[in-house]
Amino acid sequence: MSVLSRRQLLAGAGGLGLVALLAACGVDDEESPAADGPAEQGGTLRAGTPTPPTAVEPVTMYDGSSIALVQLIADYLIWLDSDFTLVPRLAQKWTGTNQNKTWEFALREGVVFSDGTPLDATAVKASFDRLLDPASKSAALSAFDGVLSPGGVAVKDPKTVVFTLDRAFSDFPYLVSAGNYNAVILKADYAGDFTKNAIGTGPFTLKSYNASTGASLVRNPKYWESGKPYLDGVEVRFYQDSQAEQLALQSGELDTLFITEPSVVQAVGDIALDEVGGTGMTALTLRVDRAPFDKKEVRQAVAYALDRPAVNQAVNDGIGELGNDHLYAPLFASAPSEIPQRAKDPAKVKELLAAAGVSKLAFPLTFDPPNKDYALVIQAQLKEVGIEVKLDQRTSAAFYGGNQESDTPWLFTTANLVSWAGRAVPSQFVNPMVTSTGVWNGSKYKNPALDAALTAYDAATDDAGRKKQAKIIAAALHEDVPVVLSLWNGAVRAYNKRKFRGIKAHPSWYVDYTNVSAI
């Protein structure tokens, strides 16, 4: 079968003929000049990014633009690299004791904030106390929920911070890393209004900020890593339209994009794309407590009806990795490899529906505009096996509006599509999405065995223990299908290969320009 690609859909909707237009204009595609040799200091990188929807505030931020901007100015205890390895930053080392209920972090010597104040354990404790305080309306509260509570952070000495957890949590270093993007270390007396008091230990300092147009950053001369960053500065421009951003990149007005939509930006001429796997995804959530999905066979039938490689091509330009209806992305170290990949099987669909006693399956699918293409692909694919999907598009405001405990569409409709940003650890998906007490359990799935396995997973002290529990959880999800997970989003980052090197993609679009240099 043929499935409309996202680009075709855009073109069909009159969105753009950009790719064709650019090709028609004869943009050359020569090889980039040699980009090896030692990196030299100098140059200003011009980066484009969507206009932040709210004021840039590290404690409450959740959008990619704000996160990237803050990451240029402030740093984390640990950086989460693009392959999900943990890289020491403000913390030089860390150890878990008391069966991973207590974690001790030793801070790097010689680090100062951009105003000259030395980094110490008090600032680190204050940063986490702030994130744990409900009054701060911190966006990290959900990540720490059930793991770390207010009062759980202590100063052992000026260079050592101790975290005492509510329960054993072996992946805790990920929760204080960039993977928990709000966890940047700010000064102890930080009281908000970040763009006017942007003091951090990051590679750049904020020279100016305009909520409508962008930001100007210059090298932080007090940055702890000697000789870095190489760049003199970064000019950030805000865009409300991805086409405008793409054209600015293509015309040379921009050198890179914080966030790159693979379906819009093409590697043409001077533009190169760096690509990585990711842990973000769009889940097709099915209400297991409500007809028609109260029967496992019906949910499995939907899962077997999808042509996952075609979905990947259509909605993600083929850069993602196939999902297998569980929440362990290939990028997670504990991801089980023993569960066979689910693939399209029309005969199996018929067999499962017959076993469930369903002669004709029809259901509404609720979603918001960003998932329109995904919904259309699902509708087309399910139609091929005789399943009728009635599309129910809501505005994003309506889809995520309402009460999270009683009626919000993204948690209470029969079937819906929800995009989930990448997470640093699988428990950040499993716990809220599919455990009996999960706060975002849209499928209303309850499985005590899975709950117990997750507790055991979080308490496991070694990789083998984690893998064992991950296999139990993944197998249960694969079998019961509370969520159909066709693919894990990959991420790309576009940059001008003739002007800069060292720009890398990141699964969560994080930005680290410490190694970027002008060519």
Partner 1 sequence: MRHLLLRRLAAIPLTLLAISALVFLATEVLPGDVARQILGREASDATAAQLRDELGLDRPLPVRYADWLVSFFSGDWGTSYTLKVPVRELVFERLGASMLLAVFAFVLLVPVALLIGVLAGLYHDRPVDRILSVTGLALGATPEFVTGVVLMVVFAVSLRWFPVSAQADPGASLVNRLEHLVLPAVSLVLLCLGYVARHVRASTVASVRSPYVRAAELRGASRFSIVTRHVLRNSTVPATSALGVQAQFLLGGLVSVELLFNYPGIGALLLTAALDKDLPTLQAAALVLGFCYLLITLAVDVVYRLLDPRLRLGVAV
Nearer to partner 1, 25 or 87 (CB): 25
* Contact criterion met (CB below 8 Å) for 282 and 320: no
From 89, 228, 237, 499, residue interacting with partner 1 (rule: CB under 8 A)? 237
Nearer to partner 1, 2 or 406 (CB): 406
Output the smallest distance, CB 457 to partner 1, in A: 22
Instruction: Examine residue 414 and tell whether it contacts partner 1 (CB under 8 A).
Output: no
Non-local CB neighbours of 480 within 8 Å, separated by 6+ positions: 288, 296, 299, 445, 447
Instruction: Examine residue 29 and tell whether it contacts partner 1 (CB under 8 A).
Output: no
Q: Report d(CA 246, CA 213) in Å as an integer.
A: 17
Phi first, then psi, for residue 388 (nearest 5°) are -100, 125
Nearer to partner 1, 14 or 110 (CB): 14
Nearer to partner 1, 444 or 478 (CB): 444
Q: Of all residues in the chain, what percent are helix, strand and coil, respectively (each to 5)? A: 30, 20, 50
Helix, strand, or coil (residue 167): coil
Binding segment for partner 1 among 117-125, 277-285, 322-330, 391-399 (CB under 8 A)? 391-399
CB atoms within 10 A of CB 340: 7
Binding segment for partner 1 among 235-243, 290-298, 371-379, 478-486 (CB under 8 A)? 235-243
Instruction: Examine residue 19 and tell whether it contacts partner 1 (CB under 8 A).
Output: no
296-305 and 372-384 helices, crossing angle to 10°:
100
Q: Report d(CA 439, CA 278) in Å as an integer.
A: 23
From 141, 154, 188, 333, residue interacting with partner 1 (rule: CB under 8 A)? 141
Binding segment for partner 1 among 203-211, 315-323, 494-502, 504-512 (CB under 8 A)? 203-211
Instruction: Examine residue 241 and tell whether it contacts partner 1 (CB under 8 A).
Output: yes
Nearer to partner 1, 346 or 369 (CB): 369
Output the smallest distance, CB 214 to partner 1, in A: 8
Q: Closest by alpha carbon to 68, among 84, 52, 54?
A: 52
Binding mask 51-70 toward partner 1 (x if CB under 8 A, else -) reads x-xxx-x--x-xx-------
In three state form, how does the secondary structure of 241-297 look? CHHHHHHHHHHCCCCEECCECCCCCCCCCCEEEEEEEEEEEEEEEECCCCCCCCCHH
Question: How many amino acids of this chain bind partner 1 (CB under 8 A)?
Answer: 57
Instruction: Examine residue 22 and tell whether it contacts partner 1 (CB under 8 A).
Output: yes
From 394, 446, 468, 504, residue interacting with partner 1 (rule: CB under 8 A)? 394
Instruction: Examine residue 26 and tell whether it contacts partner 1 (CB under 8 A).
Output: yes
From 87, 244, 354, 449, residue interacting with partner 1 (rule: CB under 8 A)? 244
* Contact criterion met (CB below 8 Å) for 377 and 310: yes
What tokens does 453 get?
A: 């396995």
Instruction: Give the footprint of partner 1 on residues 181-200 (CB under 8 A).
Output: 193
From 128, 163, 440, 513, residue interacting with partner 1 (rule: CB under 8 A)? 440
* Contact criterion met (CB below 8 Å) for 442 and 418: yes
Non-local CB neighbours of 344 within 8 Å, separated by 6+ positions: 304, 305, 306, 307, 308, 381
Output the smallest distance, CB 11 to partner 1, in A: 12
* Contact criterion met (CB below 8 Å) for 334 and 328: yes
Nearer to partner 1, 300 or 371 (CB): 371
Instruction: Examine residue 252 and tell whether it contacts partner 1 (CB under 8 A).
Output: yes
Instruction: Examine residue 219 and tell whether it contacts partner 1 (CB under 8 A).
Output: no
Instruction: Examine residue 21 and tell whether it contacts partner 1 (CB under 8 A).
Output: yes
Instruction: Examine residue 137 and tell whether it contacts partner 1 (CB under 8 A).
Output: yes
Nearer to partner 1, 67 or 111 (CB): 67
Helix, strand, or coil (residue 301): helix
E strands, 135-258, where?
A: 153-157, 160-164, 204-210, 214-219, 233-239, 256-257
What tokens does 361 get?
A: 């399956």
Helix (H), strand (E) counts: the chain: 16, 20
Instruction: Examine residue 212 and tell whether it contacts partner 1 (CB under 8 A).
Output: yes
Output the smallest distance, CB 395 to partner 1, in A: 6
From 98, 122, 156, 211, residue interacting with partner 1 (rule: CB under 8 A)? 211
Instruction: Examine residue 391 and tell whether it contacts partner 1 (CB under 8 A).
Output: no
Q: Is the four-CA dihedral 335, 338, 343, 348 of positive or negative sign?
A: negative
Binding site for partner 1 (CB under 8 A): 14, 16-18, 21-22, 25-27, 51, 53-55, 57, 60, 62-63, 134-135, 137, 139, 141-142, 193, 208, 210-213, 216, 237-241, 243-245, 247-248, 250-253, 394-398, 400-401, 403-405, 410, 439-440
